[in-house]
Each structure stands twice: as structure tokens, then as C-alpha cells.
């Protein structure tokens, strides 16, 4: 892949990520009226907003890293921030600066983003259903999981509520604002135009 193709891939990844953020807001927009009561609890769409927010974070970050020439494969994994913060990609000056920017960002956003990355669905460590312990099922936005705090099995559509969706969307927008404040290039300009076009109230 040459430099031009890499830039094109990065920008497409960014715009797909921004579309995910619009999707998150759209799901929240309909949440109030679209609910369904079941014997296990009330199904809502807040988890969709959390899920789309996470996908937005993932793509915006991957695009950013690809745009800046990093050897991150955007088609692999759902946790680019966790991987980069854990040292993946080495100690190129761009990555050192990126890690510093993320660590120094206000509001504890780094912890929120890392937590969001853990929400991606991963298969349980064992394949045989009989061997799966319900307590091993980690929190995610797509499949049933064990709620450690409550001590029971639940599902994303029942567990995630309005405030979770709001938090996820605001964390995603905060990430976009942080990256948009970096160098002035096509990537940051794309982010800025989006933030200006779709401001929060």
C-alpha cells in the first residue's frame, strides 16, 4: 500500500467512524419510545448507542494511526488504544506524543476509552457450551454477560440505560475534540468539520 492509498484508507476509516457516532445519536434519539417489556426486564436501545460509540472510537483511532503512518492494521482487533498504550507500534516519536496526549487529557477520558474498548464482544475461552461458566461471560454490548455487581446473568439490551449511552457518546465526542486539536491536516480538518456540523445542544 503506497502513501496515497494509506491516506485514502485512513480517511475512509475516519468517516465510517463518524457515521457510527451519528448512528449512536440516532439510536438514542429513538430510545424513549422504542422499548419492549419482557419477563427478564425492559429492552431498550441504549446498548446500541454504547456499541456504536465504541465502534466510532475504534475507527476514529485506527484511522488516525494509519493516517500518521503507524503499522496498526485497522482490520484487526477492537482495541487500538489499549494496544498502543501497552506499547504496540514501538516508540516512534509520533506514538510517544500520542500516548502523552491521551494520558494528559482531562476528565479521565483515557480510562473511559479503555473501558469502552473492553465492551467489544469476544468469544468465551472455551467452545463447549456445557463447560462455559456464566460468571466468566464478560460485559459487552452484543451478547448476554454476567453482571458482577448485581450477581446475575443479563443482556446488553436490559443492562445498558440512558445514562450509559449519554456517557459513551460524550466520551466519543471528547476523543474527537482531542484529536481535532492536534496538527492541522486533512484528518483533523475532517474531524473539525464534523464537530461543527453536529454540535451537541
Q: Return d(Cα 159, Cα 179) in angstroms, integer.
A: 31
- 72-81 contacts, C-beta under 8 A, 24 or more apart: 74/9, 74/13, 78/54, 78/117, 78/120, 79/117, 79/118, 79/120, 80/117, 81/57, 81/110, 81/113, 81/114, 81/117
By CB under 8 A, tell whether 162 contacts another protein. yes
- Binds another protein by CB under 8 A, chosen from 169, 179, 180, 191: 169
Query: Alpha helix (H) ranges present in 30-92?
Result: 46-67, 80-85
Return the range that interacts with another protein (CB under 8 A); candidates 51-59, 92-100, 105-113, 125-133: 105-113
Number of residues engaging another protein in binding (CB under 8 A): 30
Residue 167 is a binding residue for another protein (CB under 8 A): yes
Contact mark string toward another protein, 108..127, x via CB under 8 A: xx--x---------------
Question: Closer to another protein at the Cβ: 29 or 136?
Answer: 29
Answer for which of 20, 79, 117, 164 binds another protein (CB under 8 A) is 164
Q: Applying CB under 8 A, which part among 77-85, 95-103, 163-171, 179-187 lies near another protein?
A: 163-171
181 binds another protein (CB under 8 A): no
Nearest distance, CB of residue 155 and another protein, angstroms: 14
Q: How far is the CB of 126 from another protein (least distance, A)?
A: 28
Binding of another protein by 192 (CB under 8 A): no
Between residues 73 and 115, which has the closer beta carbon with respect to another protein?
Answer: 115
Residues sharing a CB contact under 8 Å with residue 142, sequence separation 6 or more, in sequence order: 51, 121, 156
Query: In this structure, is the dihedral angle defined by the CA atoms of residues 99, 188, 89 and 139, taken in order, positive or negative?
Result: positive
**HEC sequence for 93-147:** HHHHHHHHHHHHCHHHHHHHHHHHHCCCCCCCCCCCHHHCCHHHCCCCCCCCEEE
Interface residues with another protein (CB under 8 A) are 25, 28-34, 105-109, 112, 149-150, 161-164, 166-167, 169-171, 173-174, 199-201
Amino acid at each position: 500500500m503506497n502513501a496515497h492509498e494509506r491516506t485514502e484508507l485512513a480517511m475512509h476509516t475516519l468517516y465510517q467512524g463518524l457515521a457510527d457516532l451519528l448512528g449512536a445519536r440516532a439510536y438514542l434519539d429513538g430510545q424513549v419510545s422504542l422499548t419492549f417489556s419482557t419477563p427478564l426486564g425492559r429492552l431498550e436501545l441504549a446498548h446500541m448507542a454504547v456499541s456504536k460509540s465504541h465502534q466510532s472510537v475504534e475507527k476514529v483511532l485506527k484511522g488516525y494511526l494509519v493516517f500518521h503512518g503507524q503499522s496498526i492494521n485497522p482490520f484487526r482487533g477492537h482495541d487500538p488504544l489499549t494496544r498502543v498504550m501497552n506499547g504496540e507500534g514501538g516508540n516512534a516519536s509520533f506514538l510517544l506524543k500520542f500516548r502523552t496526549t491521551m494520558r494528559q487529557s482531562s476528565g479521565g477520558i483515557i480510562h473511559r476509552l479503555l473501558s469502552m474498548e473492553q465492551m467489544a464482544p469476544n468469544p468465551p475461552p472455551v467452545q463447549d457450551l456445557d463447560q462455559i461458566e456464566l460468571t466468566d461471560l464478560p460485559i459487552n454490548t452484543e451478547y448476554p454477560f454476567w453482571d458482577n455487581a448485581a450477581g446475575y446473568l443479563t443482556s446488553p439490551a436490559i443492562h445498558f440505560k440512558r445514562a450509559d449511552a449519554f456517557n459513551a457518546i460524550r466520551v466519543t465526542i471528547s476523543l474527537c475534540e482531542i484529536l481535532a486539536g492536534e496538527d492541522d491536516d486533512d484528518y483533523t480538518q475532517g474531524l473539525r468539520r464534523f464537530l461543527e456540523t453536529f454540535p451537541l445542544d
